[in-house]
Chain A
């Protein structure tokens, strides 16, 4: 892989004596869908939190397109072009679907333009919000409070919100958790459509069937250590991965 969009070098993070991440080195190439898999407690969500600035890595470097992200506050990292969703959906309870998409717009505009009523000074923001709403099939739900929607749709709103800011890299934390097969398949189709528009995706997922059919490349984490990587086909047959998931024969 040459010059990946996101490059992690020797990223280490400990909580007390627990090594949540030990010298994790990995890369996410532009325009690909990359998955991180691993048993519970392997450090997957910690890795997301380090990338997005919620946690600060003890050592190591996170670079997006060559720009170092370590130590930047979360909103700066977001503006560099990283957006994420959460394992337990985090929507804004007081907002409608439409408002979620307005608030997460790209941050180029001056503050006084953003102070004007949305209908007056911000045609670009509205166009972008409409676009994203349509892409995610949310147009009919525009003025519904997002929290009142069924679970699967809430996940979509969260993804739409993440995408509104035109991120270069989209981090998805268990995007199909709790979904049935058909819903998961819809999400998979959306991901493929997104990749076609040039968005790079890094995702955590437990649903192996989903991961194997969607991802271009996989990293396998176990107890904070990267134990394997490769295409889904390579990872599936890797004996270390089988050990991590099924336990080692003594």
Chain B
């Protein structure tokens, strides 16, 4: 594999985790436009742990994920009072807040960025991305996932069948934040240089885009979305300056034709049924 493709695959793995972090929170009916903030926390904290303390990458990622998860839970509580577009705005504000925090945080290089991390391989990135996706696909078949879906569908009815809606929504934020932090840690050790501008609003939007485009009702959707989002603009390179416009057009078409995203449960059921019939 050429370094060019290797780096695209690395980007796709990192984006997949970011998309999953949005997907997990979205599964409880909460739209977060600030997940790049959790990614930044993971990137900076894991880099600090490996560079300044000399911790190996894997435990550094785990520690960062736990720390970001705790911050996610803390963010999750005020988020309970907000719904829909108001929650989206608030999380967006949180994202910008975190970015300016790192700009004004000289210990980690401020706006000049931070470097010195050891480079990790594409295989390592995909071990994390694939592992987390696999666990998530199993969890999607569990009762906990159904409980999240219930909160997403009708919070009042979910409470009245005995579900602790507060715990479910806040935990989703915590887990989502932890996954975003892993994405950030991998990003930092793949690029071996980070700066606050890496974790701006556009990054959060990329996460949401990958989730929605691929299909926001399945973890598999985030995989498809992440791969499309990374590779499609590259394959469109022959049309040079028009490639982003073409990409935008494709995006609009997909959303018009399949509002639920490219994959959903119906599609999967259809595919497995056809396989069984033939």
Contact = CB atoms under 8 A, between A and B. Distances in A.
A75 interface: yes
A75 B142 contact: no
Given A54-B160, A111-B144, A115-B142, 4 more contacts: A92-B154, A92-B158, A94-B149, A103-B150
B162 A78 contact: yes
Contact of A103 (B143, B156, B166): B143
Contacts of B157: 86, 90-92
Contact of B138 (A91, A117, A125): A117
Which of the four size classes fits the interface of chain A? Answer: 35 or more
A114 B143 contact: yes
Interface of A: 52, 54, 73-75, 78-79, 83-84, 86, 90-95, 99, 102-107, 111, 114-119, 122, 125, 161-162, 164-165
B159 interface: yes
27 contacts: A73-B164, A74-B156, A74-B160, A75-B165, A78-B161, A83-B160, A86-B157, A90-B157, A92-B153, A93-B153, A94-B217, A95-B146, A95-B153, A102-B146, A103-B147, A103-B149, A103-B161, A104-B161, A111-B144, A114-B142, A114-B143, A114-B144, A117-B138, A118-B141, A119-B141, A125-B143, A165-B161
Query: Helix, strand, loop or mixed for chain B's interface?
Result: helix
Interface of B: 138-139, 141-144, 146-147, 149-150, 152-154, 156-166, 217
Contacts of A52: 160
Contact of A165 (B139, B143, B162): B162
Contacts of A116: 138, 142
Contacts of A91: 154, 157
A74 B161 CA distance: 9
Q: Which of B142, B150, B159, B164 has the most CB of A within 10 A?
A: B142
A75 B161 CA distance: 7
Closest 3 CB pairs of A and B: A78-B162, A117-B141, A92-B153
Contacts of B144: 111, 114-115
A156 to B, nearest CB: 16
Contacts of A94: 149, 152-153, 217
Contacts of B152: 94
